[in-house]
Each structure stands twice: as C-alpha cells, then as structure tokens.
C-alpha cells in the first residue's frame, strides 16, 4: 500500500486520535494543569513509538517536559531532519464563548473544534502520521528524522534554552522544519523567510528631585517630560518615518529587487488593513511599501510613556521624572546589544540641558532571522507546497519574532523552515479554535512528499 | 494721642485679639468647618465695627461668606481705597507635626504660632488696626476706605466672581491694596509688579482604534506616542528653551532696561535655587536670567503625559492613544484664549501623518497681571515701605497667578498692590505656621502711613 493509500485508509482513526489528544487540557500557563501537560507528553511519546519512531522519550526540564524521538537508519548520505512542534495549549477562557467545550472537541463542517486543534496539536500530529505512513509503505524513512516537541511554547519556552544547549549533539541536524506554522490562507501556501528580532530599553529622564510648582519653577529648570519628548522626537523623522539614530540601519540587509518582487506578489489590501487597525492612514519609513516595512524593515516603537499628573482635569505640576519604554523590531543582521548601545549613545548625545537620563535594558531580546536565499530545505519545502496547493507559495516574512527559531539557529546553527498547515483565521488563541481537516490531510501528504524529496 | 502712640499703647490687646481670631478654625476646605468660617466672618464684621468702620456686614455667597465694611467721609477729592484680605485658613493636618496646637495659638520668641496667624488672619487684621488707630487720633480717615474680606481664598474663591460682579458699584475704587501678601524677607520689603497668567490644554493623539501588536503593525501605522512626542518637541527648542509656537511671544511686553535692572537688584542664589529644587542645572529661554525667566517670561510646561503600557517590564504594544496636559504661564499682555488658539493651530500645522489630534481646553484660565510703571498706588506703597524698612523695596514679580488680583482688574478695572507683611518662611500652608509680631506692628505703622500719604 502506498503511503497515500495508507493515509486515506486511516484518516478516520487519525481524526479520532486527534480528538483524544485535544481532550487532554495541557494548558502550560496554568499550574493546575501541570499533570495534564505531562499526560500530553506521555501521549506524544507513545504515539511516536506507535508510528515506528525509536528512542521516544520524555525529556524533563525545570518546567514542563519536552518529548524526543528519532529514526536514524536512512544512512549517512541522507540528511538529518529535525521536526519541531508543541503539545501545550493556550488557556481556554472565556469558556462561555465556545460553541462546543474546548476540551470536549467535536467535528463539525469538516473542522475539528477544540483548544489546541490548530495550535499546535493538529499541526504537530501531522509529521508523526506522515512518518507512520512512510514506514507502513517501506518499513523505513527516506531521511534521518529527529522529533522534538515541547510543552511550554505558549508561555515563551522559559526552560527550553538549557535543554536544547545540553542536547546539542543529539539534536544536531541538517535541516529543521517547524510543524507550528501557518499557511497564507486555507487554499494558499507560504514560505516564511524572515522573522524580526526584538530589543527593548526604558529611558528615564530626571530633573528636579520632586515634582515642582509650574508657576514657581517654570522657566527656571527643565521639564523631564519635554526633554524626553525632545529625545524621542530626535529618534525618528516625523515626515519620512526614518529612524535617525546614528548607525541604526548599518547592519540591515537591504531588500534586493528579487525580495521586493516576492513581497509585491503577496496580496495586500491597504483599505482592509486600515479598517482592521482603525488607523486613519498607513505610515512608515519613506521609500518602502507598507508590506516591506511590516516585514523587512526595522522599527522603533514607544510602547509606553509616563510622567507627571495623569488624572482628570489639570494640575500645574512641573514633574520630576518621565520615562518611556521602547522596543525595536530588528531585521537581519541587526544585533540587539548593538542597537541598545546605539540608543544609549543617541540619548547621551542628544540629551537636552538641565536633566539627566538613564537607559535601562528590558528583557526579551530576540535575534532577527532571515533564511538565506537558495537554502536547501526552503527550496524543497517550496516545491512540495507548490505541488500540494497547485500554485507557488508566497514568499513572506513575519514582523514578530519566534523565539524557538532563533534558539535553533543559535544552538544548532540551522535556519528552520516553518512547515505547518494551520491558518490564521482558526481562532488560535481565542474561543472556538478549530482546525480544517482538509489541511490536516493535506499536511500529511505534504510531509510525506517533503521527506521523500529530501531523501531522493 | 498720635496713631503711633495708640498702636504702641494697645499692642497687647491687639495680640490677644489676634489669638482669639486664630482660635476660630475657619478651614474653608472642610465642610465640617462651615460654621467656623461663618463665625470668623462674624468676628471680622464685629471687629470692623469696633474699629469705627461703618456698614460692616456679612455678604452671603453661594459658599462661604465674605465681609464688607466702609468709611466714606473723607470727601470726593480724596481717593477711594479698597483693602482686601481673607479670614479662611488652610487645613492644619498633619496635626502631630505642630509644636503647639494649630487652633490653640500661643506666642513664643516674638512670634504668634497657629494656623492662619500669617496667612492671612494676622495680615488682614493689620489694616483694621491701622484704621482704628487713625480714627482714634483724628475721628476720621485720610481717604475713603472700603474693606473686602473673603472666606474662600484657600479653596480658589469659587463663589467670589459673581459677588464682586454684583457689587461692582459698591466696590468701585481708585486703588486696591491686598493685605494677603509677602515681603521679600523678615527685614526686606518688596513690591510685586507682575503675576503670571495661566492657560491649559490637553492634546490627545489617536492612531489605531485599539492597542496593536508592535510586531504585527510596527512600520504599518504611526505610533501616537511618537507623534505626540514629535508634536511636543516641535513646541520648544531643546537648546535655546524658546517656545516655537508661531505668534506665542507676539503680545509679550518686553523687559525694559529698567525692568531688567530692577530684577537684577534682587538677590538670587543659583546654587541655593538648584539645591532647593534638586535639579542638576538651571534651564530656560536663552537671553534671559533665571529670575527674568521665572518672573517675566512666559513658559510652556507639560504637566503630565500618558500612553501605552505603564507597568513594570515590557509589553510590545503599539498604543492607540496618547495624551498630554500642558499649561502655559503667561505674561502681560498675553491672552489665554489667543494662546490656546495658537497651540491648536500649531498642532494642526505640525501633526505627523497617520494620526489625528484633538486639543481640549482645561479649566483654570488666569489673565497675566502687570502693574503699569508709575502707577499711583504703587508709588505710594514703595515710599511707605522704604520709610518703614529703611531701604527701598525690591521690585519683584511672581511666577504664579493670584486669581483675586486678576478678578479685581477685570471687574473693577484697578491693578491691586500687594501690601502684606508676611514672609515666605512662615510655614504658610504647613505645620507650625507663625507670624512675626515685629512685622504685625510694622504693618500697622505702614498702613497708617500709606493711608495718610494717599490722603495728603
Ligand atoms: Zn503554536
Ligand atoms: Zn493667603
């Protein structure tokens, strides 16, 4: 029986198994579900073994566990492929907004409804089933495969960095595919080539020792809120939207004509975008399209600013202190540490008279991530998606960061490829999460094709 | 008996009477002291009558009462002089910081200690005693005198404007002296020639309809906090401290060489000023001394600014809204309405792309106040102070506003002269308020001399 026949024959069983998997309320954010996350880990390890994967085992961490399994008999001339996903889920609250209970999933209208159905239990189950089907056909896999599934993605993977560092040899691989990813739409595929990095600072400006009366001291001493506004304004050109911090763009990899053509090919409805955000107009760095700015240009945003009197009406205070939180979204090859140093230097150079300023780093650094053009795994994924969806995938980027991808790059030296089959409209972190069973099946076929292609 | 002999002879009684007056806890800010404010009004009306003042009566308002009295038999060739003060006091809390109880006053070390001793019961009692002494000597006063004392100065005189407007004819006068005022120090006199006005606005900048994810939307739409910072920064030159709003300085009366010389004559200890405020350096409009800026140049201060995430750590939000409260301290002849309009026009002209802005007026307008050089009442006051203190008074201004002075100017058309004998170090709104009995006596002499000078 071909792997495709095997998949077709067993689809009912697979759906029942996914229902079982979703029934486990493995909510990583809630301490009362700690045992459920463990149960889900056990379920995954057992299911890997049932699919024919060897060495399936739970990897303890200082928090929720991970699961590892491998099949390494394809030969040394075949690549080693690491497949990643996560079995923890978001909290289900508010419960009363669910049509059917989040942890008592059901199938309606060709969709499987329940918390985690799409993110990422349905997604991570797909490559396991692909491996099972390939093994059922040939008794072996076309490449060496390693599976790593974690139980803490939805809380930011706090305990994963040391585990991945410690298991560096065991996880060593030629390619990484993440089964925790989105396609462009239900019928259109994408390949995500870039993720932005992240860097945060807080700027505090001090003037007088305590708040002063604006009548008695206005004109005598500087106002930290004005000085901070002037500092912040000096960081970005109000008309061109260009960041004016010396050296900020130095390490940015410019968009090539090819990059720009790929981005331009992706549909973008600016009116729809504005309707979605409610902003009166789009705005950003001059010389780039909205999409280019969202995906491929670094940004500097003030996330919060506070100082002085915040209540109703007026209070004629000359405040003693003002502070602003800033995060920059970075693109390859910007370095969070270097950008923080540039901001600190800018603040020092542009500090208005009569105040002092301090720049503190905020937690949450992430390196930017850009898959090099012509990357082997990406090319294979592109071809498979084109076959599976009947059209070339869009080449896209993401304005956010995905810490695990950066972690893999740093620890294993491999750019991961997002190869998941969820869609952004599937209420991933909201009530009535669902997964399209059509894409559940399509994903299984795609993973079989991908592994075959990589092996042949 | 000369009025000076009368004053000397009766000083013990006057001190005992002031102790009685201070014993009435006429705290206008506390509803439970409403009857005490009324009692104080009664005490004042009775005391006016006892001094020989006619028509002494309580003027009801919609809040705490005022007291009026007059003596108008000097003849139509003599000026009419309105003397102002207030019999309400600040709250006394925190009570445990008082050496002797605030409303059980006592005399120690030549000072009378108690709430209101200096501000303004001691102050407002002085001209009543001067009138009594003059009447005792001659049976008449050298000028026509009207007294107006209020019971709500410490809560901003909310009910006084309609009363003064309604009594415009009765209060009509050629000169006004306020017995609620400070001398430069215990041994140095001053004449306050200018008060700043006040104008407030709140600027609200809106971008997206709700807070957005800075990774998903940074670069796509503008950030209201950045746009607001840019707007605010565009209002003042960071290096010169000059306000860059078109037309802002148009109506400012420039400092003459004489004005500047008068201000330069007033001692100013910049190191002491910085130590008092805790600011690292002084700062303000280029081309003016600190004192000139504090007293005679308009200012624009951000009193409060808020937007986005205000908690600990970081939140990668692209906020939907930011707002800032601004007040300007104005100098003659700036007009609050015109300045508000200039700010609104500036915001419209400088609004960065991709956001909307709204400018709302805040309550609390006050007109600036500048006594014209050579003003008759001021010249008389200067001469009397020079005689009484043995040296010419400093010619000063105040950065704050005193609403009653502006109100008198608007309703009665007369620039008031501050002619009070308190000193700024007398804990006016703090525990252990006191009044120097030396200045209590000096003030009585000064008011007698003043009225004589104005009459002759
Ligand atoms: Zn996920
Ligand atoms: Zn007062």
The end-to-end CA distance of chain B, in Å, is: 20
B342 and B420, same domain (yes or no) = no
Interval A375-394 mean pLDDT: 95
Spacing, Cα A273 to ligand 1 middle (Å) = 24
Instruction: Please give the share of chain B, as a percent, with pLDDT higher than 90.
Output: 92
Other C-beta atoms lying within 10 Å of the C-beta of residue B54: 12
pLDDT recorded at residue A207: 97
A179 and A222, same domain (yes or no) = no
Taking an 8 Å cut-off on Cβ atoms, the answer to whether B278 and A210 are in contact is: yes
Report the C-alpha gap between A8 and A5 in whole angstroms. Answer: 5
Spacing, Cα B120 to ligand 2 middle (Å) = 5
B12 and B27, same domain (yes or no) = yes
Ligand nearest to the CA of A420: 1
Report the C-alpha gap between B354 and B126 in whole angstroms. Answer: 62
Report whether pLDDT(A444) > 90: yes
Model confidence pLDDT, tens digit, residues B6-40: 999 999 999 999 999 999 999 999 999 999 999 99
B313 and B448, same domain (yes or no) = no
Last residue of one domain, picked from the residues A316, A346, A361: A361
A237 and A353, same domain (yes or no) = yes
**Disruptive mutation site among B210, B226, B271, B350 for chain A (greatest number of A CBs within 10 Å):** B226
Closest residue in chain B to residue A215, using alpha carbons only: B400
Report whether pLDDT(A156) > 90: no
Helix and strand totals (H; E) in chain B: 14, 20
Q: What angle do CA B400, B406, B407 make, to 5 degrees?
A: 135
A129 and A32, same domain (yes or no) = yes
Report whether pLDDT(B400) > 90: no
Residue closest to B404 by CA, chosen among B176, B123, B118: B176
The torsion defined by the Cα of B187, B188, B189 and B190, in degrees rounded to 10, comes to -150
Ligand nearest to the CA of A157: 1
Report whether pLDDT(A215) > 90: no
Interval B313-321 mean pLDDT: 91
List of chain A residues whose C-beta atoms are within 8 Å of the C-beta of residue B272:
none
pLDDT recorded at residue B364: 83
Report whether pLDDT(B197) > 90: yes
Last residue of one domain, picked from the residues B316, B331, B361: B361
Taking an 8 Å cut-off on Cβ atoms, the answer to whether B239 and A310 are in contact is: no
Ligand nearest to the CA of A123: 1
Write out the DSSP string of B204-266. Answer: EEE-SSS-EEHHHHBTTB--HHHHHHHHHHTTB-TTT--B-STTTTTTPPPPPHHHHHHHHHS
pLDDT interval class at B107 (50, 70, 90): very high
Instruction: Please give the share of chain B, as a percent, with pLDDT higher than 70.
Output: 100
pLDDT recorded at residue A400: 85
Q: What angle do CA B183, B187, B192 make, to 5 degrees?
A: 20
* Strand ranges of the sheet holding A416-418, from the earlier edge strand across to the other edge: A54-59, A66-71, A144-150, A80-86, A175-178, A416-418
Identity of the residue in B218, B327, B364 whose CB atom sits nearest the CB atom of A301: B218
Number of domains in chain B: 2
**Disruptive mutation site among B204, B205, B212, B219 for chain A (greatest number of A CBs within 10 Å):** B219
Taking an 8 Å cut-off on Cβ atoms, the answer to whether B325 and A314 are in contact is: yes
Whether residue B141 is contained in a domain is answered as: yes
Domain extent for A228: 198-252+298-361
> Which residues of B91-208 form beta strands (DSSP E)?
106-108, 111-113, 144-150, 175-178, 182-183, 190-195, 197-206
Report the C-alpha gap between B333 and B250 in whole angstroms. Answer: 9
A245 and A306, same domain (yes or no) = yes
Interval A353-375 mean pLDDT: 92
CA distance to B82, B377, B378, B394, B416, per residue, from B372 (Å) = 18, 11, 9, 16, 11
pTM summary value: 0.89
Residue closest to B119 by CA, chosen among B414, B439, B370, B391: B439
Whether residue B238 is contained in a domain is answered as: yes
Whether residue B232 is contained in a domain is answered as: yes
Identity of the residue in A215, A283, A285 whose CB atom sits nearest the CB atom of B399: A215
B32 and B73, same domain (yes or no) = yes
Interval B248-273 mean pLDDT: 96
pLDDT recorded at residue A314: 83
Report the C-alpha gap between A260 and A244 in whole angstroms. Answer: 24
Model confidence pLDDT, tens digit, residues A5-27: 999 999 999 999 999 999 999 99
Ligand nearest to the CA of B180: 2
Interval A200-211 mean pLDDT: 96
Whether residue A182 is contained in a domain is answered as: yes
Write down the mean pLDDT value for chain B.
Answer: 96
Identity of the residue in A208, A279, A305 whose CB atom sits nearest the CB atom of B308: A305
Taking an 8 Å cut-off on Cβ atoms, the answer to whether A279 and B208 are in contact is: yes
- What are A229's two structure tokens? 């506004």
pLDDT interval class at B363 (50, 70, 90): confident
Report whether pLDDT(A364) > 90: no
Report whether pLDDT(B75) > 90: yes
Report the C-alpha gap between B80 and B176 in whole angstroms. Answer: 9
Q: What is the ipTM of this complex?
A: 0.90
CATH at residue B29: 3.40.630.10
Other C-beta atoms lying within 10 Å of the C-beta of residue A201: 20
Interval B215-226 mean pLDDT: 95
Report whether pLDDT(B215) > 90: no
Lowest mean pLDDT among B239-248, B395-404, B439-448: B395-404
Write down the mean pLDDT value for chain A.
Answer: 96
Report whether pLDDT(B268) > 90: yes
Report whether pLDDT(A332) > 90: yes
Other C-beta atoms lying within 10 Å of the C-beta of residue A18: 24
Whether residue A304 is contained in a domain is answered as: yes
B344 and B213, same domain (yes or no) = yes
Q: Please give the backbone phi and psi of residue B114, each rounded to the nearest 5 degrees, phi first.
A: 165, 160
Closest residue in chain B to residue A280, using alpha carbons only: B354
Report whether pLDDT(B313) > 90: no
Interval B132-153 mean pLDDT: 97
Cβ–Cβ pairs < 8 A, chains A and B: 306
Taking an 8 Å cut-off on Cβ atoms, the answer to whether A299 and B236 are in contact is: no
List of chain A residues whose C-beta atoms are within 8 Å of the C-beta of residue B363:
313-314
B74 and B213, same domain (yes or no) = no
Closest residue in chain B to residue A197, using alpha carbons only: B215
Q: Please check whether residue B197 is in contact with residue B180, taking contact to mean a CB–CB distance below 8 angstroms.
A: no
Interval B192-209 mean pLDDT: 95
Closest-CA distance, A235 to chain B, in angstroms, reads 9
Model confidence pLDDT, tens digit, residues B37-59: 999 999 999 999 999 999 999 99
Spacing, Cα A86 to ligand 1 middle (Å) = 7
pLDDT interval class at A79 (50, 70, 90): very high
Q: Which residues lie closer than 8 Å to A437 by C-beta, 6 or more apart?
A: A15, A107, A110, A111, A112
Taking an 8 Å cut-off on Cβ atoms, the answer to whether B294 and A234 are in contact is: no
Identity of the residue in B202, B223, B274 whose CB atom sits nearest the CB atom of A302: B223
Whether residue A280 is contained in a domain is answered as: no
The end-to-end CA distance of chain A, in Å, is: 20
Model confidence pLDDT, tens digit, residues A224-268: 999 999 999 999 999 999 999 999 999 999 999 999 999 999 999
Whether residue A268 is contained in a domain is answered as: no
Q: Please give the backbone phi and psi of residue B277, each rounded to the nearest 5 degrees, phi first.
A: -85, -25
CATH at residue B305: 3.30.70.360
Identity of the residue in B225, B303, B363 whose CB atom sits nearest the CB atom of A317: B303
A90 and A221, same domain (yes or no) = no
Last residue of one domain, picked from the residues A323, A342, A361: A361
Whether residue B291 is contained in a domain is answered as: no
pLDDT recorded at residue A313: 85
Report the C-alpha gap between A132 and B15 in whole angstroms. Answer: 103
Identity of the residue in B212, B233, B317 whose CB atom sits nearest the CB atom of A230: B233
Report whether pLDDT(B373) > 90: no
A206 and A77, same domain (yes or no) = no
Closest-CA distance, A176 to chain B, in angstroms, reads 24
Spacing, Cα A28 to ligand 1 middle (Å) = 12
Interval B196-221 mean pLDDT: 94
Write out the DSSP string of A123-189. Answer: HHHHHHHHHHHHHHHHSS-SSEEEEEEES-GGGT-TTHHHHHHHTHHHH--SEEEESS-EESSSS--
């Amino acid at each position: 029986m071909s792997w495709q026949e095997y998949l077709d024959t067993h689809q009912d069983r697979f759906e029942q198994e996914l229902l079982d998997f979703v029934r486990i309320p493995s909510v990583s954010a809630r301490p009362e579900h700690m045992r459920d996350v463990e149960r889900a880990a056990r379920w995954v390890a057992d299911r890997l073994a049932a699919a024919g994967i060897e060495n399936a085992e739970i990897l303890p961490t200082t928090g929720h566990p991970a699961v590892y399994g491998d099949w390494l008999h394809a030969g040394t001339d075949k690549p080693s492929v690491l497949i990643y996903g996560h079995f923890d889920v978001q909290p289900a609250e508010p419960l009363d907004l669910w049509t059917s209970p989040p942890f008592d999933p059901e199938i309606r209208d060709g969709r499987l409804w329940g918390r985690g159905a799409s993110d990422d239990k349905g997604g991570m189950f797909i490559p396991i089933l692909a491996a099972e089907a390939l093994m059922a056909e040939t008794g072996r896999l076309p490449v060496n495969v390693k599976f790593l599934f974690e139980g803490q993605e939805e809380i930011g993977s706090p305990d994963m960095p040391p585990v991945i560092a410690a298991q560096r040899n065991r996880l060593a691989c030629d390619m990484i595919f993440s089964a925790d990813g989105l396609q462009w739409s239900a019928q259109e595929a994408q390949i995500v080539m870039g993720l932005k990095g992240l860097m945060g600072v807080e700027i505090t400006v001090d003037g007088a020792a305590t708040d002063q009366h604006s009548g008695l001291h206005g004109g005598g001493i500087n106002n930290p809120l004005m000085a901070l506004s002037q500092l912040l304004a000096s960081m970005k050109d109000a008309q061109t939207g260009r960041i004016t911090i010396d050296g900020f763009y130095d390490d940015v990899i410019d968009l090539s004509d090819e990059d720009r053509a790929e981005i331009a090919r992706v549909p973008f409805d600016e009116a729809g975008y504005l309707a979605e955000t409610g902003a009166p107009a789009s705005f950003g760095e001059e010389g780039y399209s909205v999409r280019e700015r969202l995906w491929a240009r670094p940004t500097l945003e003030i996330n919060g600013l506070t100082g002085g009197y915040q209540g109703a009406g007026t209070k004629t205070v000359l405040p003693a202190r003002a502070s602003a939180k800033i995060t920059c979204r970075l693109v390859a090859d910007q370095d969070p540490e270097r950008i923080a140093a540039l901001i600190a230097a800018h603040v020092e150079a542009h500090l208005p008279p009569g105040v002092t300023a301090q720049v503190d780093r905020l937690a949450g650094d992430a390196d930017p991530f850009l898959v090099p053009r012509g990357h082997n795994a990406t090319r294979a994924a592109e071809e498979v998606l084109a076959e599976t969806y009947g059209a070339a995938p869009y080449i896209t980027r993401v304005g956010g960061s995905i810490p695990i991808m950066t972690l893999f790059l740093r620890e294993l030296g491999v750019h991961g490829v997002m190869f998941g089959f969820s869609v952004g409209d599937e209420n991933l972190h909201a009530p009535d999460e669902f997964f399209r069973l059509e894409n559940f099946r399509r994903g299984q076929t795609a993973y079989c094709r991908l592994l075959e292609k990589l092996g042949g």
